[in-house]
Amino acid sequence: MKFLFRADASSQIGSGHVMRCLALAVAVRPLADDIHFVCCDLQGELRGLIEDSGYRCTLLPVDNPAFDQVSDAQQTAELADAVDWLIVDHYGIDHHWQREMRSACNRIMVIDDLADRIHDCDILLDQTFGRHADEYRSLTPVACKVLTGTDYALLRPEFAASRPAALERRKASEGVHHVLVSIGGFDPENVTLDVLEVLAHADYSERLTVTAVCPAQPPADDASLNTLAGSFEKLEIRQYVSNMAELMAASDLAVGAGGTTSWERCCLGLPALIRIMADNQREVARRLEAAGAIRVWQSRTELRECLDEYVGDPSLLQSASGAASRVCDGQGLERVIAVMQSC
């Protein structure tokens, strides 16, 4: 079978669309003769990561800053050679683009989380926590299979594999000792440095092990990092990690952004302090906070207050861990693949 993925990443868009497509690509690999990614040539595109993962990637030229569905569909169709499944994860694409692609592929799957536009597809997947299929009924064809909620979250297999041991470890947790700082695929505001400085000035910093995952470059120069490191029991700066499940499982608390990584943290029962980095993260953050899985912060003062609460009350950490683990079990890929095979 041939699979074609259409998703973009950039310093403005973020990496979430491509990352969840990569997770799905891993799952369909045993079924595939060819897996091909098509992405716009934007600043911060992830062709290198896609190719390092073992897949072809073609970059479409960007001649106009405004996204043009007609032109994009024409260019993508030229690359679609008897495609069995076209998987689209793009906020700028709707039924107009999808109809243009119908003659170039057998079936179309759309990954979305906005529920704000009409689609022409065979499967619609929205992994948003609390989303209901009825929200898409007027936006999709009658025969479309609509998959909603975190039961269908696209997580790489290592998260499900790490879940039992991670949850068992958290039952014996004695509080916050290891903090994972990961703002996401891009951190243009250098929020990572803000977080590290807040942690460094906390009264309990000397007992903390802190792992900071940075997308491209360290959040500060060597001298500043050495100064910060002196405040902690241990400070480790990592870049472009491939073992995020392992890092999350070993951590007691995460500080990061919203978006698709929320389901990874929940799968492993990892409580999180979340900063909203984009408007489309607000609703997810609201729902997760209402469920007790996360706390939202937007300023250094709010972050420090949240940290103090979790560090000062281990039972609060345990409660948040339990709430997070109930959001997502990590089996979404298997469920999605089963639906795809039934089409």
Give the DSSP per-residue string, 46-102.
Answer: -HHHHHHTT-EEEEEP--SSS--HHHHHHHHHHH-SSEEEEEEE-TT--HHHHHHHG
E strand map for the chain: 2-7, 34-40, 56-60, 83-89, 105-111, 123-126, 145-148, 178-182, 209-214, 234-239, 253-257, 272-275, 294-296
Give me 180's structure tokens.
């994972």
Report, as an integer, the average pLDDT of 315-333: 96
CA angle 159, 165, 170 (to 5 degrees): 105
Q: Which pLDDT value is given to residue 12?
A: 86
Q: Which pLDDT value is given to residue 108?
A: 98
Q: Which pLDDT value is given to residue 150?
A: 97
Q: Which pLDDT value is given to residue 88?
A: 98
Amino acid letter for position 15: S
pLDDT tier for residue 116 given thresholds of 50, 70 and 90: very high
Instruction: Give dist(CA 343, CA 340) in Å, integer.
Output: 5
Q: Which pLDDT value is given to residue 160?
A: 96
Write out pLDDT tens, residues 221-277.
988 999 999 999 999 999 888 899 999 999 999 999 988 899 999 999 999 999 998
Sign of CA dihedral 27, 90, 215, 228: negative
Q: How far is CA 89 from the centre of its chain?
A: 12
Report, as an integer, the average pLDDT of 115-124: 97
pTM above 0.95, yes or no: no
User: pLDDT above 90 covers what percent of the chain?
Assistant: 87
Write out pLDDT tens, residues 60-101.
999 877 899 999 999 999 999 899 999 999 999 999 999 999
Instruction: Give dist(CA 241, CA 256) in Å, integer.
Output: 15
pLDDT tier for residue 31 given thresholds of 50, 70 and 90: very high
pLDDT for residue 24 is more than 90? yes
Sign of CA dihedral 300, 306, 308, 310: negative
Higher pLDDT pick, 339 / 14:
339
Give me 23's structure tokens.
């997770």
Q: Which is nearest to 211 in space by CA: 229, 198, 189, 223?
A: 229
pLDDT for residue 298 is more than 90? yes
Tokens 């057998």, located at residue: 106
Cβ neighbourhood burial of 284 (10 Å; 0-12, 13-18, 19+): buried
Q: Which pLDDT value is given to residue 141?
A: 98
Write out pLDDT tens, residues 301-313.
999 999 999 999 9
Local structure of residue 250 (DSSP, 8 states): T
Instruction: Give dist(CA 330, CA 155) in Å, integer.
Output: 6
pLDDT for residue 316 is more than 80? yes
Local structure of residue 10 (DSSP, 8 states): B
Q: Which pLDDT value is given to residue 178?
A: 97
Q: Which pLDDT value is given to residue 302?
A: 97
Our separate counts of H helices and E strands in the chain read 13, 13
pLDDT for residue 216 is more than 80? no
Q: Which pLDDT value is given to residue 204?
A: 96
Tokens 């990092």, located at residue: 225
